[in-house]
Amino acid sequence: SPNNLEKDFKAHADHFVIPKESFDFAYRLVIQVIFNIEAIDELIKKQAENWRIERLGTVERSFLRMGVAELVYFKDVPAAVS
């Protein structure tokens, strides 16, 4: 559930010195990926020529998902920065 996710995310972040703005952005990004993963994966699949998303490594797929989520769902972040 989102409540447990926030609690777990905060517990993990407590091990690091993270500015509040960075924490808030990272949390928003994770939430967007989790709740929109199917739509994000469809966007990736449409653009990936001769590649199945399953062929990507777990880390690469995760970074790609976060990048797509930032471009699509974060209107307050300019595309040039994403």
**What pLDDT, in 10s, does the model give residues 6-35?**
888 888 888 888 898 988 999 999 999 999
- Per-residue pLDDT, 10: 84
Which residue do the tokens 């609690």 mark?
Answer: 7
Model pTM?
A: 0.81
User: In angstroms, rounded to a whole number, what is the distance separating the alpha carbons of residues 34 and 75?
Assistant: 18
Task: Provide the pLDDT confidence category of residue 80 given band limits of 50, 70 and 90.
Answer: low
Nearest to 35 by CA among 77, 76, 73, 71: 73
Looking at residues 49-76, what average pLDDT do you find? Answer: 92
